[in-house]
């Protein structure tokens, strides 16, 4: 079954004034849509991959379980599709961004000393990512929260390619197309503004799911 562009869980204008309406419309309707189209084209060449969900497909990147003919296309476009699915869901209207709480807040304070310290380290990772990429808060397989960044459309599911593999809890897109219409070259300003639209309830759910013991 082909992958599809998901509907956003809010309107294109919902993240104003921190993420502008035009950026959201282009980002979702053009950039994300292109990743979906391109990964579908790649996977269609190998029917044995047709039943894989996008998360499982990403987990195959960098392994022998992905045909070499489409490895780069899947890494770039399958990564782009999964990353953006995650990104849309980790944001919400500013009025709904309630701040960290629950199990995630406790885990962040245990790992970093405070939520503010975690944010500072996350901001530094996002600002320091050269060129295009992402910043992540990840729960590693050992149960440790770590901050990392990845180039292009790589993500922590691609265990053999990244420094800190694991389950993403927070993720920030720092490609220029995510912020340039409003913030131009002021990436740190965009990073700081982004915290106003973080969906902390969803982040807590991602954390709890990742921390749940596997059978």
Classify residue 213 as exposed, middle or buried by CB count within 10 Å of its CB (0-12, 13-18, 19+).
exposed
Residue 215 has pLDDT above 50, yes or no: no
Residue 196 has pLDDT above 90, yes or no: yes
Query: Which of 170, 181, 178, 182 shows the shortest CA–CA distance to 206?
Result: 170
pLDDT-based confidence at residue 153 (cuts at 50, 70, 90):
very high
pTM (two decimals): 0.96
> Is 84 annotated as ligand-binding?
yes
> Is 177 annotated as ligand-binding?
yes
pLDDT, position 214: 59
pLDDT, position 182: 98
Q: What is the pLDDT of residues 172-189, one digit of tens each?
A: 999 999 999 999 999 999
All domains in the chain, ordered by first residue = 21-89 (1.10.287.990), 94-211 (3.55.40.20)
Q: What is the pLDDT of residues 29-39, one digit of tens each?
A: 999 999 999 99
pLDDT, position 213: 74
Residue 54 has pLDDT above 60, yes or no: yes
Query: Cβ contacts of residue 151 below 8 Å, gap of 6+?
Result: 129, 130, 131, 132, 133
Q: What is the pLDDT of residues 111-134, one digit of tens each?
A: 999 999 999 999 999 999 999 999
């Amino acid at each position: 079954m082909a992958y599809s562009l998901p509907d956003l869980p809010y309107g294109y204008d919902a993240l104003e004034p921190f993420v502008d309406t035009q950026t959201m419309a282009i980002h979702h309707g053009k950039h994300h849509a292109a990743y979906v189209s391109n990964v579908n084209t790649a996977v269609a060449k190998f029917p044995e991959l047709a039943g894989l969900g996008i998360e499982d497909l990403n987990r195959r990147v960098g392994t022998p379980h992905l045909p070499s003919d489409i490895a780069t296309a899947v890494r770039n476009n399958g990564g782009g599709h999964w990353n953006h699915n995650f990104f849309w869901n980790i944001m919400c209207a500013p009025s709904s961004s309630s701040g960290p709480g629950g199990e995630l807040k406790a885990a962040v304070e245990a790992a970093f000393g405070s939520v503010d310290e975690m944010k500072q380290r996350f901001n530094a990772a996002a600002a320091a990512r050269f060129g295009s990429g992402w910043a992540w808060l990840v729960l590693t397989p050992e149960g440790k929260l770590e901050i990392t960044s990845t180039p292009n459309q790589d993500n922590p599911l691609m265990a053999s390619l990244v420094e800190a593999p694991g389950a993403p809890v927070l993720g920030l897109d720092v490609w220029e197309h995510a912020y340039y219409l409003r913030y131009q070259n002021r990436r740190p300003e965009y990073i700081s503004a982004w915290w106003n639209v973080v969906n902390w309830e969803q982040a807590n759910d991602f954390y709890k799911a990742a921390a749940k013991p596997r059978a």
